[in-house]
Amino acid sequence: MYLSARMMPESSSDQPTATNRPDKSASGPPAADMSDPQWIAKYEPYLRMLARTHMRAAYRAKIGASDIVQQAMLQAVGAIDQFRGGTEAELRAWLRQILVRQICHLDRDLHRDKRDVRRERSMEQKLAQSSMRLEGLLAADQATPSQVAIVGENVTALAAAVERLPDGQRQAIELHYLEGLKLAEVAEALGKTTGAVAGLLHRGMKQLRSDWESSQQGSTGGGAS
Per-residue pLDDT of the chain (225 residues; tens, 9 = 90+): 433 333 333 344 444 554 443 333 344 444 446 667 777 888 999 999 998 888 765 566 667 788 889 999 999 999 988 888 878 888 999 999 999 988 888 777 666 666 667 777 888 888 888 888 888 887 655 545 555 555 556 788 889 999 999 999 999 999 999 888 999 999 999 999 999 999 999 999 999 988 877 876 766 555 443
What is the Cα–Cα distance from 224 to 185, expressed in whole angstroms?
Answer: 37
CATH code given to domain 164-218: 1.10.10.10
Which among 165, 154, 59 is positioned nearest to 113, based on CA atoms? Answer: 59
Radius of gyration over alpha carbons of the chain, in Å? 18
- E strands in 20-129: none
Sequence length of the chain is 225
Q: What is the DSSP string of 130-164?
A: HHHHHHTTTGGG-SSHHHHHHHHHTHHHHHHHHHT
Which among 93, 50, 89 is positioned nearest to 69, based on CA atoms? Answer: 50
CATH 1.10.10.10 residue spans of the chain: 164-218
How crowded is residue 141: how many other Cβ atoms within 10 Å of its Cβ? 14
Q: What is the pTM of this model?
A: 0.71
Q: What is the dihedral of CA 13, 19, 20, 21, to 10 degrees?
A: 130
Any idea what the Cα angle at residue 187 is, between residues 57 and 180, rounded to 5°? Answer: 70
